[in-house]
Chains A and B, each alone.
Chain A
Amino acid sequence: MSPIIIKLIFVSIVFGISLFVAMYSTYAERKVAAFLQDRLGPNRAGPFGLLQPLADGVKLFFKEEFIPLKADRWLFLMGPGFFMITALMTSAVIPFGPDLKIGDTVIPLQGTDLNVGLLYIFGVVSLGVYGVLIGGWASNNKFSLLGAIRAASQNISYELAMGLSIIALVMMTATLSMREIVDQQSGWHWNVLYQPLGFLIFLVCAFAETNRAPFDLPECETELVGGYHTEYSSMKLGFFLFAEYINMFISSAVIATLYFGGYHAPFIDSMDPGMLKTFLSIGVLFAKIFFFIFFFMWVRWTLPRFRYDQLMNLGWKMLIPLAVVNIIITGIVLLMKM
C-alpha cells in the first residue's frame, strides 16, 4: 500500500476515535457528575444508558434550525464548523504509539511528525478561539458577544502562561517534536517528575483553554444564558458542545504526551518490540488520556466557577510570574548540570 493510503486510513481512524471518545465523554460527564452527586445519571437508553449519546445526537438533529434574523448568516454558520475543525486538527501531531510494523511496512502512529509539533499545537489551539469569537459575534446577541469576548481574552491571557510553562519543558527536552519528547520519557523519566511546577501551570492553563470549569466563563449559564452559543440550536449547538469534548480529549492527550510519558510505561518499555508491545503502548496512552478526561470532569464537579477578575488575576499575577520563575529555575539547574 502506498504511504498516502496508509496515512489516509490512519487519519480517518484518529478522526473516528476522536469523535467516538468525544461522544462518550458527554455520557461519561453526565455519569461522573451524577456519581459525584450521589445520583445514578442516565441509565434508561440501552444498558447502563450506553445509548444515551446516540439519543442526544438524534435529538439535536431533529431540533429546529434557527438563525436569528439580524445575524450574519455566513459567519453564524462558520463559527461551529471552525471550532470543530480546529479542535480536530490538533490531533495531527500527537503520537499515539510507537511505529506499527506489519510485514515490511512501517506505519508511524502519528499524523505527522513535525519538528515544530509543539508550536503547531499552540498555533492551532489559539486559532480555536476564532470559532467561538465568530459564532458569538455573528449571533448579534449581547450575551453571545460577551461570552465570545471573554473567551478571547481568557485564551490570550492563559496562552502566555501556557507558552512560558512549555518553554521550561522545551529547555529540558531540547526539541519541539512530539515524538522525540515522548521517546525521551521512556521508563520513569516522565517530565512531570522534573517539571512539577510547569505541569501545574500547564494543567491550569489547559482548563482555561478548553473553557472547562472552573474557567468556563465564556458559557457561564448564571450570567450569560449560554454564553457564545446562546443563539445556536440544533446540530450547530451540538458542534460547539461536541468540539468542547474533542478539545478535552486532545488536551488530555497533550498533557499525557508532554508530561506523563505518552505511550510509555515502565513495564512495557522492557518488553520485546512487536505487535503486542505496540498495542499495549497505545492502550497505556489511552488509559492516561481517559484518566485526564476523568480528571477534567472531576474538577468541574468540585470547584465553583471563578469570577472574572479572579480569573485575570490568577492568569496574569500568579501563573505568568510562576512560569517565569520556573524557567529561571530550570535554566539554573540545566547550567549546573553542564
Chain B
Amino acid sequence: MQLTNKRKHMARKPMTFLERIYLPAIVKGMGITLSHLFKKKATIQYPEQKRPMSEVFRGLHILKRDDQGAERCTACGLCALACPAEAITMTAAERKPQDKHLYREEKYAEVYEINMLRCIFCGLCEEACPKAAIFLQNDKMAPASYEREDFIFGKDRLVEPFLLKKS
C-alpha cells in the first residue's frame, strides 16, 4: 500500500567514476552549506525575545479568585481525583464566619499543594473543577530550581495575587 508519493526506489548500483572521486559531491555539499551562510537564522534570543506561546498552552497552575476577591476553590478534591499523575494534595477546612470575604464557599482548602515534578501539565484538573477555580496559565511555566522542595507549590504560589484582581 502506498500512503504518500514520497517513496523513492533505491537500487544499489556500483558507484560511477565521478561518484568515486567524491569531488563533485563535495563541491555540491559545500555549495549547500555556503548558501546557508546567508539564510535567515532560526535563533530566538531568549531573554530579550520570547517565542509567542499558544493560547491554549498549559503552563503553571493558578487558583482563581472570584469578583469579590474570594478564593473559589472549595476543596472538593475532584482535581486531585482527576489528576493522572497524583500531583495534587489538599486539606479541607471549614470557613470561619469572619473569613467570609476570603473564601467563597463554606468549605475551603487550608492546604493546597501541587508537586510540579509529578505534574504532567495535562490540564485534567482544570477540566474536573466544578467551581472554575483552577486553571493552567498560558504565559507562565514552572520555573527551574535546585531543590526538590521548591517544586511543591503551596497556596502561597498558586493562588491568584489579591491586588492584581482589584486593578
Using CB atoms and an 8 Å cutoff, list the residues of chain A in contact with chain B.
Answer: 32, 35-40, 298-299, 301-303, 318
For the complex, give the distance between the alpha carbons of A152 and B37 in Å. Answer: 35
Question: Does B5 count as interface, using CB distance less than 8 angstroms?
Answer: no
Assess whether B29 is in contact with A36, with CB atoms less than 8 Å apart.
no
Question: Does B2 count as interface, using CB distance less than 8 angstroms?
Answer: no
Question: Does B12 count as interface, using CB distance less than 8 angstroms?
Answer: no
Assess whether B30 is in contact with A35, with CB atoms less than 8 Å apart.
no
Assess whether B29 is in contact with A38, with CB atoms less than 8 Å apart.
no
For the complex, give the distance between the alpha carbons of A36 and B45 in Å. Answer: 18
| Nearest-neighbor residue (CB-CB) of B39 within chain A | A38
Q: Which of the residues A35, A303, A318 comes within 8 Å of B36, measured between beta carbons? A: A35
Assess whether B43 is in contact with A36, with CB atoms less than 8 Å apart.
no
Determine the chain B residues whose CB is within 8 A of the CB of A301 once the complex forms: 33
What count of chain B residues pass the 8 Å CB interface test?
15
For the complex, give the distance between the alpha carbons of A249 and B42 in Å. Answer: 31
Contact with A along B1-43 (1 / 0, CB 8 A): 0000000000000000000010000100110111011011111
Q: Which of the residues A32, A40, A299 comes within 8 Å of B43, measured between beta carbons? A: A40
Assess whether B29 is in contact with A302, with CB atoms less than 8 Å apart.
yes
For the complex, give the distance between the alpha carbons of A121 and B26 in Å. Answer: 28
Interface centre among A35, A298, A299, A318 (most CB of B within 10 A): A35
Assess whether B43 is in contact with A39, with CB atoms less than 8 Å apart.
yes
Determine the chain A residues whose CB is within 8 A of the CB of B36 once the complex forms: 35-38
Assess whether B41 is in contact with A299, with CB atoms less than 8 Å apart.
no
| Nearest-neighbor residue (CB-CB) of B27 within chain A | A302
Beyond A38-B41, A302-B26, 11 extra complex contacts between A and B, CB < 8 Å: A35-B36, A36-B33, A36-B36, A36-B37, A38-B39, A38-B40, A39-B42, A298-B30, A298-B34, A302-B29, A302-B30
Determine the chain B residues whose CB is within 8 A of the CB of A32 once the complex forms: 37
For the complex, give the distance between the alpha carbons of A40 and B41 in Å. Answer: 7
| Nearest-neighbor residue (CB-CB) of B35 within chain A | A36
B43-62 at interface with A (beta carbon < 8 Å): 43, 45
Assess whether B30 is in contact with A38, with CB atoms less than 8 Å apart.
no
For the complex, give the distance between the alpha carbons of A299 and B21 in Å. Answer: 16
Determine the chain B residues whose CB is within 8 A of the CB of A318 once the complex forms: 21
Determine the chain A residues whose CB is within 8 A of the CB of B42 once the complex forms: 38-39
Assess whether A303 is in contact with B37, with CB atoms less than 8 Å apart.
no
| Nearest-neighbor residue (CB-CB) of B34 within chain A | A298
Determine the chain A residues whose CB is within 8 A of the CB of B37 once the complex forms: 32, 35-36
Determine the chain B residues whose CB is within 8 A of the CB of A35 once the complex forms: 36-37, 41
For the complex, give the distance between the alpha carbons of A73 and B26 in Å. Answer: 43
A-B contact pairs, 18 of them (CB 8 A): A32-B37, A35-B37, A36-B33, A36-B37, A37-B36, A38-B36, A38-B39, A38-B40, A38-B41, A38-B43, A40-B41, A40-B45, A298-B34, A299-B30, A302-B26, A302-B30, A302-B32, A302-B33
For the complex, give the distance between the alpha carbons of A121 and B5 in Å. Answer: 57
| Nearest-neighbor residue (CB-CB) of A304 within chain B | B29
Determine the chain A residues whose CB is within 8 A of the CB of B29 once the complex forms: 302-303
Determine the chain A residues whose CB is within 8 A of the CB of B33 once the complex forms: 36, 298, 301-302
For the complex, give the distance between the alpha carbons of A38 and B42 in Å. Answer: 6
Assess whether A39 is in contact with B41, with CB atoms less than 8 Å apart.
yes
For the complex, give the distance between the alpha carbons of A299 and B34 in Å. Answer: 10
